[in-house]
Structure 1
C-alpha cells in the first residue's frame, strides 16, 4: 500500500473495516439498527440496498462524519470515535469534496486539494491533469465547477478523493446519474484502485453494479443487514440454477417436458414463449442424461442455456419487495460538514 499512514499499520492486517452492532437514530426512527460489517483488506465490498435502507448513514458513521448511537467500528484496527483523527487520514470519501470554490475550474480545485495535502505545486498540477484524464474531464478542465453537470461532479468527487491515495475508499452511490459509458469507465477505475492497493467499500442500489464489482455483498434493508456473502452465495441461497430449453417442434413440447421432469426428477414449466421449457437444475450431471434421452426420442432443441438466479430475485426473496432504483438515500456530504468533522 502506498499511503504513508499504512506504515503505522500491521501490513498483515486482515480487516479494513470491522463494525459491530452499529445503530443510528434520528428522533424515533432507526436509520441503522444493528449493522455488522467485516471488509477484508484489498477487496471490493458492496453494500446493496434501496433508497432509505441506511447505506449512506452507515458510511458516514464509518467515515467519522456521523457518530453512532450504539455499536463499535474500527478502520484498520483504529476506533472511529476514539481514534478518529487517524481514521480520517486512512480514508477517502466521495461526496465530501464538493469544491473549494464553485467559480474555480476543475483543475484549480484539484490543485488546491493537493496543496492542502502538502503536495508541491508542480506535482499538484501533474496529478490534477492525470486525474482529469482518468475520469474523462480533460476537455472541461478549465471550466468553472458551477457549469458542471451532476455526472461530471460525481466523477470529479471521486478524482478528488483519490489525490491522497487512501488505503480505504468509501464510494457512496458512485455511478448514480451517470450514462452507461461513463458508468462502465467508473467500474474500470474502481477495479484499478484495488489492483494498486486500496480497499473499496461501495454502496449501491444497482444490482448489476454489485454483481460486477463486489467480492462480497451485504444486502441491507430497513437499517439491517439481511444477507451477506459473495454474489454466487447469495444467488444460491434463493434457489438453484435453471435449465432453459427451446424445442424446435411445437408438437414435441409436451413430450419433451415429460422427459425433462422424469430425467431431472423435477417439475418443469412451459413459458408463454412457444417451445420454451424451464426447469430447476439441482444436479448438473443429469443434464447429459437428459440430452441423450431427448435425442433418443427424436426431439430436437433449438437452444439450451443455464441461468443462475439474479440479484433481483435474491433481493425480492430476502426482503419481500423488489429493489427500487431511485435517488441515493441520504444527502451528499458537503465541504462544511467534512470540515466540521475534521475539526
Structure 2
C-alpha cells in the first residue's frame, strides 16, 4: 500500500471537530504505526512524541488514524516534540538527552507499578511495536544507570570511617611537627664566635676579610656566609657547605674545596689558582672574573654557572663550561 500525501479527513468540510492542531483535537487523536514487521497501535499523540524522543520512531515512519491512509510523521509536525525538532541546533542535542532521561525515568516508574492489578489489566494486549537493537541498547543502558545503587554517603559519614581517617591525619600531622622539632634540636644554631675547626657552624656569619690561611674547615657549615676578600690560601674546605656564600675577591689559592657544595656561591674575581674543586657542586655559581689557573675541576658540576668570561654554562656541564645553545 502506497503512502498518501494526507489523510482524507483533512479535506472534510463542515465538520464540527476542533482544528487538527488544537490541543483538544490532539489529545483525542489515536494513531496506528506501520513498521516492516507489521501494524501496531493505536497510540495517543503524546505517546508518538515519547517514541520519537526515545528513538523508537523516526520522522520517516508511517502513521494512520484508520489503517487505510498512511502519512509520514514528518507530515504531522504537531506530533513532533520540540526537543526532536531542535535536536540539530546549538544545545539541542543536550536538551534531547535530558528529555530521553526524563522519559526513561517515567517509563521505569510505570514498569515498577506494572504488577498492580489496575496496571496489569490496562496492559493486556500490548500494542508496542518490536524495537530495533539500537533502541534496545540505549534503553538498557539508561536502565542500568538508573538501577545503579548510589553510594551510601550518609551511612559512611555517620559511621566510624571518617573518625578513623581524621585520627590518622591527626597522628601524621603530630608526627611531622615532632620531626621538625627534633630537626631543629639536632641542627645547632650558628656560632659566629666559634674558632675555626672541622664542622664549625658559621651559617650566615660575617667573616669578610678574615685571615684563615691553612685553616681546617673540612665539613664546615658556611651557608650564606659573608667571606668577601677572606684569606683562605691552602685552607681545608673539603665537603664544606658553602651554598650561596659570598666569596667575591677571596683568596683560595691551593685550597681544598673538593666535594664542596657551592651552589649559587658568589666567586666573582676570586683567586682560585691551583684550587682543588673535584666533584664540587658549582651549579648557578658566579665565577665571572675569577682566576682558575691550574684549578682542578674534574667532576665539578657547572650547570648554568656564570663562567670567568661571562658565558652561561650549559645544563649538564661537568668538569668544564660547555657553551649553551643560546650563546
* Alignment TM class, shorter chain as reference: under 0.3
- Using the size of structure 2 for normalisation, the TM-score is 0.20
Of structures 1 and 2, the one with the larger relative CO (CA 8 A, separation 6+) is: 1
- Using the size of structure 1 for normalisation, the TM-score is 0.20
The structure with the largest strand share of the pair is 1
Q: Which has the larger radius of gyration?
A: 2
